Homo-oligomer: A and B are copies of this chain.
């Protein structure tokens, strides 16, 4: 967990208990939580933490690229500390978000965007919407 504190320091962010708690929660889960989810999760251990602090913290972490903010057409943003390139699969039924790696070669696309359009890509989203295996099976019953 020391790594997280190092990351904060490297970005000139003060290492506060709230930031460590939020950042390490994001680094430990693959559930792509919303601000609300983060807040509820940490409320038990940090009863005094305010929702506004969670908002401010994820904004800071996002601004120095320690976490990624994304929107899947829901009414709120989700956050992810995983910086590997991967796609998100949103199940439109259970609203869980799954990660998908592999089979996506984007280097070539990014290269073509640069050479054909002059567009310099610095980040990308790849989101698939559909029904996950669990929901499909539950529906069959």
List chain A positions with a Cβ less than 8 A from chain B: 69-73, 77, 87, 89, 91-92, 98, 100, 102-104, 108-110, 112-113, 117-133, 136-137
For A125, what are the chain B residues with a Cβ–Cβ distance below 8 Å? 73, 125-127, 129
A24, B136: Cα distance in complex, Å: 37
- Protomer copies: 2
Q: Distance (Å) between the CB of A133 and the closest chain B CB?
A: 3
B127 touches A122 (CB 8 A): no
A123, B110: Cα distance in complex, Å: 22
B118 touches A133 (CB 8 A): yes
A117 touches B92 (CB 8 A): no
A72, B112: Cα distance in complex, Å: 21
Closest B residue to A104 using CB positions: B109
B73 touches A70 (CB 8 A): yes
A99, B71: Cα distance in complex, Å: 19
Q: When A109-B103, A112-B103 are in contact, do A71 and B69 touch as well, CB less than 8 Å? A: no
